[in-house]
Amino acid sequence: MSDEFLKNPLSLFDIRGKVAIVVGATGAFGSLAARTLAGAGAHVVLSASRIDELKKVAAECERLGAKTEIVALRPSSEENCDKIVKAAVDKFGRLDILVVASGLNKVSKIVDQSYDDFREVMDANVNQSWLMARAAGRQMLKQGQGGKVILTSSARGLLGHPAGYSAYCASKAAVDGITKALGCEWGESGITVNALGPTVFRSPLTAWMYEDTERAQAVRKGFLARVPKGRLGEPEDLAGPLLFLASKASDFYTGHILYADGGYTAG
């Protein structure tokens, strides 16, 4: 360990001037990821389907001092993924960080769920993560200077769920497999590939669990019995792990799922 490092250990987390793509940038985690990276000094390329919502997130990032580019596309095809990466290179000349924050869940018992719904969840969470990682990886390998790929997993990639999550659990387990495989495949390239695995955190989809209704209180009581930290997650709980995975601090950390879950998966 050099003396220079000891004088400034926080330099490990310095991403100033790095170029980051955030896919799914208008969602609860995606918008937080965009703002976290922007606030830490990165330039951000924001991708999602709704341009009006993208403009709002871009404005927030610019208020934090970041330069931004918006791409009103989802990573739903090879062509779209290539266009998203090209937008980053055209605007900023390179790509250093990819965050895939997009995803989908359709809750249904397996006997009631249509095959089309199952395939839609798998496509959004698995196929699109793979396609986006491939497009970003090609650019990072071409640059020859490493990079950071951060996928979105879940505690449900490790654990089952009794309430109609067969599609979602399967999709997140597959994301874990992609993460581990690419962590091995790109090990010597300088590209790290990791996934952030939250459990319940506050978002429009989970807002009801934070309410003081009888139903929410009952669900929280049962859920929190498994959470050592004794509370539900907040989006801000993902910011620190994200910055770690996006920075030099994680250069020797690859092929892993980092669970930001209050200890839920430790039980």
Q: Catalytic site residues?
A: 168
Are the beta carbons of 209 and 200 closer than 8 angstroms? yes
Q: Are 172 and 157 in contact (CB under 8 A)?
A: yes
Decide: 196 and 152 in contact? Cβ < 8 Å.
yes
| Residue 187 C-alpha from the chain's centroid | 20
